[in-house]
A and B are shown apart, each in its own frame.
Chain A
Amino acid sequence: MSPAIHANPKIPVGRPVSSAGSPRRPGEPPYRGEPPGLKPSEVKLLLFLGIGGAVCLLVLALVGFAFNKRGDRGAQPVVAKVDKKPEIFEQAVEEHVVVERPPVGHAFVEINVPVMPVQPDPKMAQAILGKPAAPVILPGPDIDIDIAPGPVAAKAQGGEPKKCQTCQKFGTTIEFIENPPDAFKKARAFGKQVFMVHLSGNFEDKEFT
């Protein structure tokens, strides 16, 4: 018989309990004990990092707040610039009403927010649309050019056709303006196209044409 059978029954028999707590399960790392306390230098470092981080956050917050405020001040309602404000639109701005479509000849977008429409550039519109209702003589620079209406327009006005002072004909019956920029200016004023001749030689000299 085994001697274990005759063991004293008063001695408790069971699993041994260690003072470190529950037994280690297989595969668990060994117990290393409680971690040691922080050194003073490490405490200082942690304190420094904590305070530094807090200061950075505060600075960022202030900057963001200041930027926000400036952005609010800069944001203004966009108003289209026009040379003249028609009365109907001024009234609409005051009364905050929907602007009705204006008479023929004007173009704008109908919206509920009172916004000044952008008037098309009259010079460009006239240049594209061709002959204006009445000849418009633009105030030019100091260039002395004769922009009087040609023979057809003058007859329509009841006057005699006025001769072009700065035009030359060069052996033709076409009135040529010597300076191309002046010709384009005159064409813009009278809503005409420009007929431009590019050539080798000198137009003024028959031999050199």
Chain B
Amino acid sequence: MNALANEKVAEYINEHFVATYLKVGTFRIIGGQKVGGNVASYFCLPDGSVVHAVPGKLEADAFLNEARWAYEARKLAQTVGTNLVTGEFEQWKFYLQMKQAHEERYYAARNPHWVQLGAKGGTPLGRLPATMPAGSNQAKAHWLLGMNPLAKIDAVYPVVWEQILNEPLSALPVVKQ
């Protein structure tokens, strides 16, 4: 929880988000050592649609980047999805923009050199793979949300927790041995 204790992170989260938490797993304390357990962060719309997911722990700077990306990606998608003249909102444009944002992040995570070369936007490597690919947890999260943009948190968190973090969902209390 070091990232959450950072002042900059806390200030940004307090300003742009409403924070809450939920226990979804458990761990054991054996001989004073924590065995098992993990953490996942989600940035959601008020209706429960997941804008961004961050599986696992991150350093403060990296976490702040992810929080900013979640906020800005949502803002961009909302702008793209809104007719600025009439104010009419088109859900499908919002959905498509979020999908493209996650695809771009996925390919950037899989191909860092592509980002360093300053390649233009879009997904030069085509569609996302049909099944969850190997790679970093963050890349997997982007793949999941690229394949299922704005999916509800009830559907996303079991996949993130069990398949990306390889942790069992559990309501059991923490056991201290």
Do A and B pair up? The answer is: yes
A residues adjacent to B (C-beta < 8 A) = 104-107, 120, 124-125, 127-130, 150-152, 170-180, 182-188, 190-203, 207-209
Chain A residues whose CB sits within 8 angstroms of the CB of B87 once the complex forms: 104-107
**Measured CA separation A125–B4 after assembly (Å):** 31
Does B38 reach chain A (CB closer than 8 Å)? yes
Tell me which of B66-74, B105-113, B116-124 binds A: B66-74
Tell me if A193 and B51 are in contact (CB < 8 A).
Answer: yes
Given A128-B89, A201-B37, A208-B174, check contact A174 B48 (CB 8 Å): no
Q: Tell me the nearest residue of chain A to B173, going by C-beta.
A: A202
Q: List residues of chain B with CB within 8 A of the CB of A208.
A: 29, 174
CA distance A163 to B49 in the complex (A): 28
Interface size band for B: 35 or more
Report the 6 A-B pairs with minimum CB-CB distance, sorted nearest first. Answer: A200-B37, A183-B20, A200-B25, A173-B10, A188-B46, A195-B17
Task: Please name the residue on chain B nearest to A153 by beta carbon.
Answer: B15
Residue pair B86, A174 in contact (C-beta under 8 Å): no
Report the minimal beta-carbon distance from B162 to chain A, rounded to whole angstroms.
12
**A176 to B170 Cα, complex, angstroms:** 22
Q: A171-B5, A172-B4 are in contact. Are A196 and B46 (CB under 8 A)?
A: no
CA distance A203 to B75 in the complex (A): 30
Give 29 A-B contacts (CB < 8 Å), ordered by A residue.
Answer: A106-B87, A128-B94, A129-B89, A152-B15, A170-B1, A173-B7, A174-B13, A174-B19, A175-B19, A178-B21, A183-B18, A183-B19, A192-B17, A193-B74, A194-B45, A195-B17, A195-B42, A196-B22, A196-B41, A197-B41, A198-B21, A198-B23, A198-B25, A198-B40, A199-B25, A199-B37, A199-B38, A200-B23, A200-B170
Q: Are B20 and A178 in contact (CB under 8 A)?
A: yes
A-B contact count (CB 8 A): 183
Known: A104-B87, A130-B78, A195-B67. A176 touches B19 (CB 8 A): yes
Partner of A200, one of B36, B44, B45, B48: B36
- Given known A125-B89, A195-B67, A209-B1, contact A175–B14 (CB-CB < 8 A): yes
Find out whether the CB atom of B10 lies under 8 angstroms from the CB atom of A179. Answer: no
- A203: which B residues are within 8 A, CB to CB? 21, 23
Q: What is the minimal beta-carbon distance from B10 to any residue of chain A, in angstroms?
A: 4
A130 CA to B71 CA in the complex, in Å? 11
Shortest beta-carbon distance, A127 to chain B, in Å? 4
Q: Besides A195-B17, A201-B23, 5 other CB < 8 A contacts?
A: A104-B85, A127-B47, A128-B47, A174-B9, A207-B29
